[in-house]
A and B are shown apart, each in its own frame.
Chain A
């Protein structure tokens, strides 16, 4: 016999100002099956909860309805109270009298009547509630970090130092990411590689970290705590165990005209190559698409000169099957290149370059050994124009957002140039200067006040080439919109930060959300910045949105802490509001006919095909659907599609839903 308790909350005045809460409690008490009803000012408060606990015990309640705010606010609060009172927490339901009644209607009889209706519905539902128990899921305490840039490196080290195993997968032949391409970093002007390479080595040498470079994630399936990841280890054609990194192979490689990605296209590399001298691992791979042996069947020089016989042309891509409990996505970003700008030459002017190219020119290990020289004729420029906001904050070009890092790196570039060329002239065309971090604004002031960088507020309309110079047509909006024309020797465009070209396919493989710019979506923009909506997958670094190194590192450590929280226990509990396919005694086993329509429509890939076997003979008796409770999110799509109602949602069964509707339609009985 049901003994339901109804507790109506005033929510201060939030509900009571509009709804006659005393009346609602009185009417509720009259309902069949209700053993106790009361109203109180703040049900969620300590005294409020105590009243619930005591009422359960005193009146021997078998279920409770709390008429208050949205379940999203306090369902877990009241369920805990119910548990303390001694009943299964899933026998507690909330009637939303705030978001659904008092906040959307005016005071009046009809509003109170609606509140009474909703309470009546929930009382009927609770009568049909069954006890549910949280589902326990085992956790594999190994993390996968995708991406070996500074964010991935930080996350991997944090997780590994906490004692858990980490597998890092990086698609380039070396880890390091864009940070390894930088010359100096703001606001300290630290040498980028000097602060990065020790970390890279730490990753390679850490006993808890397994590093796979020149590898990509092929597929991700499973669920939080129990992911199954297939990794494609691209064929390096070089045996990493035998190779000593001596360099004989790439010194002798005849294919020397491949645009060097590490040097942002400013120089060439060979087909067998290490991306940069400080690469980790410092062993070469063969770029088969550009290698004469693989394309034309000619050459084979590297194999001949290798002193340890490490080169093997016959290796193929290998696949690894990994079982991991959590994934940190740290796949980084890309930038737009100069060909994106019609008004700046469609990328056809050699001396109009982007920010990364400037970093390579300024870098000691770059194509010009750290001397800033014009790509066209190698001369040292006497006048450089830096164009900020190139492509960013530009609705017409489809990039409305601000790329965040360019104001800072433009100031840095200008300073680096002036430090190397005291007599040179540096101009920055800007719209705003966004330097909001610690010591950031002081850094920009230093560029202006100590290094004499000339900041001109205005955008550049057009750049064209004449007689070996670049004519830059800009404007100074602070000087009465005075048009300014500068004949520059070199122009550096601070181009927009964008997502990687393959970001969309990576996100789809991982089943994580992404926005229209292909940046990965965080679970909540304010309060959950390092998690995704897919449980167990975290975000770190610029793959989420443009950010600088301090923020990338912070976010990586935060993502690592989420992973460590997940790994803190051997088992994870999940809400039992999941779908279940009915089962009964043989010979029927289940009413499910195995049409598997539910499997097709499940957005979480949570339904599997199950073979019900004869225990003795192993013969297949029936095919049915089976819900993976670990993956199911309780959305109910399968229930809606099931043709003969063999699948139902715990906590929201068909019967419960129907009884709510009937309760709504029928006046009190």
Chain B
């Protein structure tokens, strides 16, 4: 059975590193991810804000494509895409009238038999069982694991064990030889889609997150959402101005952190593409003892 992959628009654009590092880790561990052919945008915040029917229909198209292409499971690394695809699937499966209407819009049949995997579920199921043999380095640094909103809520869709203080990312980071810290802003909102329309709000909210991580001694922040990454990384100058503090903690994707522990070179993981330099984080790495 094929393991499908839905990168979503951000992973093809400004968060290319997420996709790059995910595929590198998967390849290292012998896992093949097949991109859904001709996938389209999930609609993100714009669709559900402006048009309810559209917000169900756009993801439905890609879900139907995945079904038709014989995929049993689809990995959706982008937290927002996962949220939208899962919400659309749930709406259609729970209400036959919604299913019928949406099938009418997309002009495709949909059965609902594709299982959607978050990046954590993917790592747990496919990477963890074989990871140990590939992990050669210890990240050797204090990391603040940042989940943001859509990896934690709504809890019916995200299936985290402790939605208010999750430990799924921490488990990955521990495997990678890092020391995840205990901190208070794991699931607080970063400002989401306001990057352009209300940059001040992003600066404020992401600023609070960055500040707490810095106060508690984090040397890097680990994320699993391209929006959160963009807000914490690309908007760092605005955050610094808002906080009046010069905080330079780098922000890494979870797959980049894992990839580093597997000895994959930094440039193959897209670490050079961040605005906030990841150099210090990379330099902390030591070889794992035998």
**A–B interface present (Cβ within 8 A):** yes
Binding site for B on A (CB under 8 A): 342-343, 345-346, 348, 462, 464-467, 471
Q: Are A346 and B184 in contact (CB under 8 A)?
A: no
B270 at interface (Cβ–Cβ under 8 A)? no
Q: How far is the CA of A465 from the CA of B212 in the complex (A)?
A: 11
A sample of 6 inter-chain contacts (CB < 8 A) reads A342-B163, A346-B162, A348-B165, A462-B164, A464-B184, A467-B215
Q: Which residues of B contact A465 (CB under 8 A)?
A: 184
Q: Are B212 and A346 in contact (CB under 8 A)?
A: no
Q: Are B164 and A343 in contact (CB under 8 A)?
A: yes
Q: Which residues of B contact A348 (CB under 8 A)?
A: 165
A381 CB to closest chain B CB (Å) equals: 20
Binding site for A on B (CB under 8 A): 162-165, 184, 212, 215
Q: Which residues of A contact B165 (CB under 8 A)?
A: 342, 345-346, 348
Q: How far is the CA of A462 from the CA of B162 in the complex (A)?
A: 14
Q: Are A466 and B184 in contact (CB under 8 A)?
A: yes
Additional 15 contacts, C-beta under 8 A, given A342-B164, A346-B164, A467-B215: A342-B162, A342-B163, A342-B165, A343-B164, A345-B165, A346-B162, A346-B165, A348-B165, A462-B164, A464-B184, A465-B184, A466-B184, A466-B212, A466-B215, A471-B184
B149 CB to closest chain A CB (Å) equals: 14
- What residue in chain A is nearest B216 (Cβ atoms)? A466
Q: How far is the CA of A348 from the CA of B215 in the complex (A)?
A: 20
B254 CB to closest chain A CB (Å) equals: 22
Q: Which residues of B contact A462 (CB under 8 A)?
A: 164
Q: Which residues of A contact B164 (CB under 8 A)?
A: 342-343, 346, 462
A14 CB to closest chain B CB (Å) equals: 47
- What residue in chain B is nearest A348 (Cβ atoms)? B165
- What residue in chain A is nearest B185 (Cβ atoms)? A464
Q: Which residues of B contact A345 (CB under 8 A)?
A: 165
A270 CB to closest chain B CB (Å) equals: 33
Q: How far is the CA of A464 from the CA of B215 in the complex (A)?
A: 14
Q: Which residues of A contact B212 (CB under 8 A)?
A: 466
- What residue in chain B is nearest A464 (Cβ atoms)? B184
Interface of A is mostly: mixed
Q: How far is the CA of A465 from the CA of B181 in the complex (A)?
A: 13
Q: Which residues of B contact A342 (CB under 8 A)?
A: 162-165
B213 CB to closest chain A CB (Å) equals: 12
Q: How far is the CA of A464 from the CA of B165 in the complex (A)?
A: 10
- What residue in chain B is nearest A465 (Cβ atoms)? B184
A550 CB to closest chain B CB (Å) equals: 38
Q: How far is the CA of A462 from the CA of B187 in the complex (A)?
A: 12
B96 CB to closest chain A CB (Å) equals: 27
Q: How far is the CA of A348 from the CA of B212 in the complex (A)?
A: 19
Q: How far is the CA of A466 from the CA of B216 in the complex (A)?
A: 9
B183 CB to closest chain A CB (Å) equals: 9
Q: Which residues of B contact A471 (CB under 8 A)?
A: 184
Q: How far is the CA of A466 from the CA of B184 in the complex (A)?
A: 8
Sort A-B residue pairs by CB-CB distance and give the 7 closest, nearest first: A342-B164, A464-B184, A343-B164, A346-B165, A466-B184, A342-B162, A342-B163
A339 CB to closest chain B CB (Å) equals: 11
- What residue in chain B is nearest A345 (Cβ atoms)? B165
- What residue in chain B is nearest A341 (Cβ atoms)? B164
Q: How far is the CA of A419 from the CA of B26 in the complex (A)?
A: 63
A183 CB to closest chain B CB (Å) equals: 31
Q: Which residues of A contact B162 (CB under 8 A)?
A: 342, 346
Q: How far is the CA of A346 from the CA of B184 in the complex (A)?
A: 13
Q: Which residues of B contact A466 (CB under 8 A)?
A: 184, 212, 215
Q: How far is the CA of A464 from the CA of B212 in the complex (A)?
A: 12
Q: How far is the CA of A462 from the CA of B215 in the complex (A)?
A: 20
Q: How far is the CA of A410 from the CA of B231 in the complex (A)?
A: 43
- What residue in chain A is nearest B212 (Cβ atoms)? A466
- What residue in chain B is nearest A471 (Cβ atoms)? B184
A595 CB to closest chain B CB (Å) equals: 49
B162 CB to closest chain A CB (Å) equals: 6
A486 CB to closest chain B CB (Å) equals: 15
Q: How far is the CA of A343 from the CA of B162 in the complex (A)?
A: 10
- Among A343, A346, A466, A467, chain B packs the most CB atoms within 10 A around the CB of A466
Q: Which residues of A contact B163 (CB under 8 A)?
A: 342
B204 CB to closest chain A CB (Å) equals: 14
Q: How far is the CA of A343 from the CA of B165 in the complex (A)?
A: 8
Q: How far is the CA of A471 from the CA of B163 in the complex (A)?
A: 19
Q: How far is the CA of A346 from the CA of B164 in the complex (A)?
A: 8
B283 CB to closest chain A CB (Å) equals: 29
Q: How far is the CA of A342 from the CA of B167 in the complex (A)?
A: 13
A467 CB to closest chain B CB (Å) equals: 8
B158 CB to closest chain A CB (Å) equals: 13
Q: Which residues of A contact B215 (CB under 8 A)?
A: 466-467
Q: How far is the CA of A467 from the CA of B165 in the complex (A)?
A: 18
- What residue in chain B is nearest A463 (Cβ atoms)? B184
A463 CB to closest chain B CB (Å) equals: 10
A252 CB to closest chain B CB (Å) equals: 39
Q: How far is the CA of A466 from the CA of B212 in the complex (A)?
A: 9
Q: How far is the CA of A345 from the CA of B165 in the complex (A)?
A: 8
B150 CB to closest chain A CB (Å) equals: 18
Q: Which residues of B contact A343 (CB under 8 A)?
A: 164
B43 CB to closest chain A CB (Å) equals: 28
A511 CB to closest chain B CB (Å) equals: 38
Q: How far is the CA of A65 from the CA of B165 in the complex (A)?
A: 71
Q: How far is the CA of A464 from the CA of B209 in the complex (A)?
A: 14
Q: Which residues of B contact A464 (CB under 8 A)?
A: 184
B138 CB to closest chain A CB (Å) equals: 27
Q: How far is the CA of A471 from the CA of B215 in the complex (A)?
A: 15
- What residue in chain B is nearest A342 (Cβ atoms)? B164
Q: How far is the CA of A467 from the CA of B162 in the complex (A)?
A: 23
Q: How far is the CA of A467 from the CA of B184 in the complex (A)?
A: 11
Q: How far is the CA of A471 from the CA of B185 in the complex (A)?
A: 12
A351 CB to closest chain B CB (Å) equals: 14
B286 CB to closest chain A CB (Å) equals: 30
Q: How far is the CA of A467 from the CA of B215 in the complex (A)?
A: 9
- What residue in chain B is nearest A346 (Cβ atoms)? B165
Q: How far is the CA of A465 from the CA of B165 in the complex (A)?
A: 12
Q: How far is the CA of A467 from the CA of B217 in the complex (A)?
A: 13
A346 CB to closest chain B CB (Å) equals: 6
A254 CB to closest chain B CB (Å) equals: 34
- What residue in chain B is nearest A343 (Cβ atoms)? B164
Q: Which residues of B contact A467 (CB under 8 A)?
A: 215
Q: How far is the CA of A464 from the CA of B184 in the complex (A)?
A: 6
B144 CB to closest chain A CB (Å) equals: 14
B161 CB to closest chain A CB (Å) equals: 10
A326 CB to closest chain B CB (Å) equals: 47
A386 CB to closest chain B CB (Å) equals: 21
- Among A342, A343, A465, chain B packs the most CB atoms within 10 A around the CB of A342
- What residue in chain A is nearest B166 (Cβ atoms)? A342
- Among B165, B212, B215, chain A packs the most CB atoms within 10 A around the CB of B165
Q: How far is the CA of A343 from the CA of B215 in the complex (A)?
A: 21
Q: How far is the CA of A348 from the CA of B165 in the complex (A)?
A: 11
B224 CB to closest chain A CB (Å) equals: 20
